Chains A and B, each alone.
Chain A
Amino acid sequence: MSDIDIHALSGAYAVDALDDSERAQFERHLAECPACTSEVASLREASALLAETTLATPSAELRDRVLAGISNVRPLPPVVSQPEPAEATVIALEPRRRRRVVTFLAAAAAAVVIGTGGIVWQQHDDHPSVTYAVIHAPDAQRFTKTFPGGATATVYRSKRLNEAVIVTRDMPAAPSGHAYALWLQQGDAMVPAGLMPNGPDNEVLLHGDAATAAGVGITVEAAGEEPATPQGDVVALFSFDT
């Protein structure tokens, strides 16, 4: 997409009308285009006016639930320095660790993943510490897999927050030119839930409706292109059935 074209996405971005790859692309553009940043801010103000025409009274129970829900959640600290965008970009992988991952893959459960059309996702960058809230949620469920060699991957799912987080420790790097992709199983479909950043130890918020998901999958996918459906080998599957 040319530079001229990408500026024209500001309006669609302001009303969340971009698909996920366009949004990721536009957010990279925003980081270096003050004109678009300022335009998006003003167009968001305009779009928020539309909500004036759709007021509806919530139930009294909602107020109770909301106020009860915040009482055990600590507000995030203010941003005191220039934040790095918490974008899940694909980072060059370390080829020298390839052998380890082959073993790793061989030991992983062999499973057929049936994909369907879906959305490739970037991390929310507006609440970077939501991972903490999910892991410590009162209703958080925990699912751990230990791989040969001692690597672990743990999925935390909070139905109430409708979020899931995956925490990895000592994870071998994906094969050269590849990255780990995360999926939420919704019914029979594996829906893209984001890419795992490079590095052995990660905490990643999965995108999508974790509350309705039946499980989480990790696959190895070619780096650079985020697939809409799983194409590569399955590394692990976590079932939420308890």
Chain B
Amino acid sequence: MDRFRPVADGAPSEEGAPEAPDQHRPDLAAPDLGELLKACGRGDESAFARLYDATSTRVVGLALRVVRDRAQAEEVAQEAFLDIWKNSGRFDPAKGSPLGWLLTIVHRKAVDRVRSAEAATRRDATYHHQNQPVEHDSTAEAATASLEAHRVRQALGDLTEVQRQALELAYFGGYTHTEVATMLELPVGTAKTRIRDGLIRLRDTMGVGS
């Protein structure tokens, strides 16, 4: 993959003068994340820098939404990116999209973080508190206008209220399905069904993971 070889001298230095992250705005069409992951698996750090630039707003955004603390979110993102680098050669495009694979790693790290003893106090957060918007910055605001985000919100609107609440508490809140059942006052064992039904509907509306 010649086009993923390290850039020539004279390109912006990654160490001395880091580029602003938004110089490489996430773009769903390009770069090809699968190709970048392949190059990373061969130890191509320049490909990893491009992968970082293409995905970091999603990675940090997701981590921030789950752990709700910027410093911790960046720690989670850093650990996740290290895992992504280490495992890049093991990404299998037959099993899913690069972004799905990568965000699965991030999500698991974020959930592990909020479930740790350190974050025990967070477990007291009320459902109301849980639904307060997390502070986002200008890029996030710009992103809310993105077509994809708009489509996802519309698709979430097609879920039943309880499906959407159960899915969001599980995915963004990091709660187990048993905890979600208690929070939503659902009979024991039904939250997992709501989560699954909600995901299936979201998947089918958005036409992913066929």
Query: Which residues of A are interface residues toward B (Cβ below 8 A)?
Result: 8-12, 14-19, 41-60, 62-71, 73-79, 116, 118-119, 126-127, 129-130, 133, 161-162, 186-187, 189, 191, 207-209, 212
Contacts and interface: CB of A to CB of B under 8 A. Distances in A.
Interface string B35-57: 00000111101001100110011
A57 B100 contact: no
Given A17-B176, A41-B95, A57 B139 contact: yes
A50 B196 contact: no
Interface in B158-182: 167-168, 170-172, 174-178, 180
The 9 closest A-B pairs by CB, nearest first: A11-B196, A42-B209, A45-B209, A186-B117, A46-B203, A55-B143, A17-B170, A56-B61, A57-B139
Nearest to A62: B74
B130 interface: no
Contacts of B104: 44, 48
B166 to A, nearest CB: 9
A12 B195 contact: yes
A116 B138 CA distance: 42
B140 A9 contact: no
A3 to B, nearest CB: 15
Given A58-B56, A70-B85, A126-B105, A12 B177 contact: yes
A60 B118 contact: no
B141 to A, nearest CB: 9
Given A41-B96, A70-B82, A77 B89 contact: yes
A15 B48 CA distance: 26
A16 B203 CA distance: 17
Given A52-B148, A208-B116, 8 more contacts: A45-B96, A49-B155, A54-B64, A64-B18, A73-B86, A77-B89, A127-B86, A129-B86
A52 B149 contact: yes
Which among B167, B168, B175, B197 has the greatest number of chain A C-beta atoms within 10 A? B167
Contacts of A208: 112, 116-117
Nearest to A83: B90
Interface in B27-81: 40-43, 45, 48-49, 52-53, 56-62, 64-65, 73-75, 77-79, 81
A222 B84 CA distance: 36
7 contacts: A17-B177, A47-B171, A49-B148, A49-B208, A60-B20, A161-B82, A186-B116
B129 interface: no
B113 A209 contact: yes
